[in-house]
């Protein structure tokens, strides 16, 4: 199925809203809410997965419980665009890097990292990230608080 062929109706929206709110919502509970069978809910979910709209489900860990209290964003300047792939491959080896983006603007790469504290962040920047071949310099922004955490609305 091509993505352009996807049609989301009211029942699909109810299913998705329930599962976005809690991915462990029982299918039969959703089926009772919309008035169709559990098998029909499963069929609709398979259609939405096949379309590429649903790309998976996952448990979300609270990093603070694991001792990761410092969240930072780092803009990475490369000395040459040709170093991008090698830099990304090296960043993938650093477990604290939880997102990376190829961006327009000043930075070649923009990453999101989790650290235990500011000292851990400093060591990670100095010994791991800034030592990557091709990294000219970095610019770091520490997140003080996250007020919004949501998906795109239907």
Instruction: Render pLDDT for 20-34 as a digit per residue (tens, 0 to 9).
Output: 999 999 999 999 999
In the chain, CATH 3.30.70.920 covers 70-143
pLDDT tops 60 at residue 81 = yes
pLDDT tops 50 at residue 1 = no
Instruction: Render pLDDT for 108-149 as a digit per residue (tens, 0 to 9).
Output: 999 999 999 999 999 999 999 999 999 999 999 999 999 999
48 close to 29: Cβ distance less than 8 angstroms: no
Instruction: Render pLDDT for 138-151 as a digit per residue (tens, 0 to 9).
Output: 999 999 999 999 88
Q: Please tell us whether the domain made up of 3-51 is placed in CATH 1.10.10.10.
A: yes
Contact residues for 39 (Cβ-Cβ < 8 A; gap 6+): none
Contact residues for 112 (Cβ-Cβ < 8 A; gap 6+): 71, 72, 73, 97, 98, 99, 100
pLDDT tops 60 at residue 70 = yes
In the chain, CATH 1.10.10.10 covers 3-51
User: What is d(CA 48, CA 8) in angstroms, rounded to the nearest whole number?
Assistant: 9
87 close to 109: Cβ distance less than 8 angstroms: yes
Q: Which CATH class is domain 70-143?
A: alpha beta
């Amino acid at each position: 199925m091509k993505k352009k062929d996807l049609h989301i109706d009211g029942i699909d929206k109810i299913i998705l809203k329930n599962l976005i709110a809690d991915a462990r919502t029982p299918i039969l509970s959703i089926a009772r809410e919309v008035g169709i069978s559990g098998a029909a809910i499963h069929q609709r979910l398979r259609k939405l997965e096949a379309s590429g709209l649903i790309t998976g489900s996952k448990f979300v860990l609270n990093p603070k419980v694991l001792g990761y209290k410092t969240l930072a964003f780092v803009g990475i300047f490369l000395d040459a665009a040709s170093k991008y792939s090698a830099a990304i491959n090296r960043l993938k080896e650093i477990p604290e890097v939880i997102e990376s983006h190829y961006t327009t603007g000043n930075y070649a790469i923009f990453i999101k990292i989790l650290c235990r504290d500011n000292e851990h962040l400093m060591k990670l920047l100095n010994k791991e990230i800034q030592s990557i071949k091709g990294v000219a310099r970095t610019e770091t922004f520490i997140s003080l608080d996250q007020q919004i955490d949501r998906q795109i609305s239907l």
